[in-house]
Amino acid sequence: MSTTTESITDTARAFFDACETGKGWAECHAHCRPDAGFSAQAEPLADIRTLEDYAEWMKGLLGLVPDGAAEVKSFATDHERNSVCAYGVFTGTHTGSGGPVPPTGRRVSSDYVYVMEFDGGKISHMTKIWNAGWAMKELGWT
């Protein structure tokens, strides 16, 4: 394994850990290009276009689901395409105030994948693959 590949894998892990624990852009930005893009085919994220905004969205989500945690199921680096994929399961209970409805006390277990593309050793774009409708229903938000 090359040094470059090791570094993007380490960078992806550090970003994933910071993002999934609600550290927000303040901690996530060190692993990303300042103009890093974001995309997802999921209604709650439809207006989010930057990785900065997504990191802040996750920080806000953890305010609504304070026991939220991600369990990594798979983490893989694609050497040829200079990308890293992380598959995780997010679990948590809606007990925090705010959000689309008052706290429901309902629990979510939601599969998702991050596909992180790299340029110059930093994340330049991330796509989130996620069945948002399923998660929203489990939380009682729809």
**CATH label of the domain that carries residue 98:** 3.10.450.50
Question: Structure tokens of 24?
Answer: 């927000």
Longest Cα separation, the chain: 49
pLDDT number for residue 3? 46
Q: What does the alpha-carbon distance between residue 42 and residue 75 come to, in Å, rounded to a whole number?
A: 22
Task: Identify the residue whose tokens are 């938000």.
Answer: 141
Is the model's pTM score more than 0.85? yes
pLDDT digits (tens, 9 = 90+) for 52-95: 999 999 999 999 999 999 999 999 999 899 999 999 999 999 99
pLDDT digits (tens, 9 = 90+) for 112-131: 999 999 999 999 999 999 99
How many domains does the chain divide into?
1
Bridge-based pairing state of the strands 122-130 and 107-119: antiparallel
Q: What does the alpha-carbon distance between residue 104 and residue 56 come to, in Å, rounded to a whole number?
A: 22
Domain that holds residue 44: 3-139
Q: What is the DSSP string of 73-104?
A: EEEEEETTTTEEEEEEEEEEE--SS-SSSS--
pLDDT digits (tens, 9 = 90+) for 5-43: 559 999 999 999 999 999 999 999 999 999 999 999 999
